[in-house]
Structure 1
């Protein structure tokens, strides 16, 4: 029998690990990761989040040990979320000088000055109603909320935050925060905007970790409809025009098409947020022995890089950093 041999032999470039490594198009690095940390008031507290195995709420007095582990793994950036004891209608704990994120920032900067601190800038963890702004008639008042978000950003910068990351999805938040930072003398502090943030069911476990579940309604009037694609480009374009320095797409795993759209249309660094629900699904499957966690996580994170993410906020950062060290 005579065989046809005039076809392309793509397998030539897959013949060995060394060959595959040589032609690999996308690489996952520890430098790509930003690790989320939940800081709580009180003392001697390290409480695992029930829906997020391996993720903890940590009090200030134990924070140094947690940061030391992150730093020694080679992770160069963390994003801080605060969980205060006291909440009120206007989220005062977000912008006072003694706020939990401000205190955590000062502590980390004293001990690890070269570690980049990203401060999540929102009010939902600090408001008694759990929404991301000031409430009037059961609705979030966009413009009144902007003033408090700007105060929060400035207070975080004063505490030593390297990057401000507003996640509230109010219209005009980048412009107002940029102006406030500049007027306060923080012209060199970049804004990592949650430019594209969907009203996603994947956020459930985070609300356990940050104690930020809305007490009424939901956030669909200010977060984006998961069915929309072109809207993401409008949102990102506005933030670029208003002075954003990074663009976050959140969530990432179910929105890889949006990551690619943002990458193709804008020249700023793109950040994928590998959110809590994405993390918890993998952890649950791994605990049941249904998957190879290491292989799946590294494949998942690589897919985010392939889609166009330059950086990845991920609860897997510590695990992935350790795994990458093993393979190098």
Structure 2
């Protein structure tokens, strides 16, 4: 059953005991007697487990309901836009499924008295994982969705920027004609592409870039990728097109600052579909004003939504999209199935497959 938070109150398992990898843990109150779960209970005695879904804009929750309802889950949902909103909806939930918006700091987690959080997506920066573990909570995530969608979006942005489509569009809409505003343009077969980060998405992006003719080389200190020539970060940044697919740094510092921007080629393109924290935005704007890079195509930002006024002096040199690279109907469905399946594992007494925090860890 799916209910909005405005629905009547319902019975749920509060402070639900969470499983270790080998066995279910005792209840959080320290008792050695294990609580009955929705799975353990006979059909006529089955306990309703509260599952909260926060920070999504899905048209309906039928995918999650199909996977979780057989386990006794009753789904509530809300926007999770503030600590108060999170606690109001999700207090006592066996599992919380969360989008990127809700922020779970230590204080919020302590008041939640929930069992686990599963992120719709890869990043868990919005969750204090250490605090969650100390409170006996799992934190899980979905790392392997949207690979094709993000790689296609990165390629699309790279080609649009390389062809200066944002400038050509403004030329025609401004009542002008001709190609003078976009000169010089070059074919992919005459240019290089540097791919920074060679995980699933980086490797697929490299394949797509090579497929349209770019000479591709990559940079990843942790990867050995057959078929891709590897080089230093400086070598990657000197390419005609640079695409970023690296994870954010643990301390949140940018990978691309003023010194790195200075290494870029005049007339080059910089694409970021990975993490907003990878780029020092102020340094990027300064570089764009000097033509290094000539165009930046960004799907992620240091703060989302971004303050577009930051780009006021270089609006004709940027292509901006609203953190949509991951999205297609197919990738969204894949994400939701995998997130709900992780929640089902936890409710069923199993460890999730992709773990950012382990109870007591």
Instruction: Give the TM-score, by structure 1 length.
Output: 0.29
Higher radius of gyration, 1 or 2: 2
Q: Decide which structure has greater helix share.
A: 1
Q: TM-score, normalised by structure 2?
A: 0.27
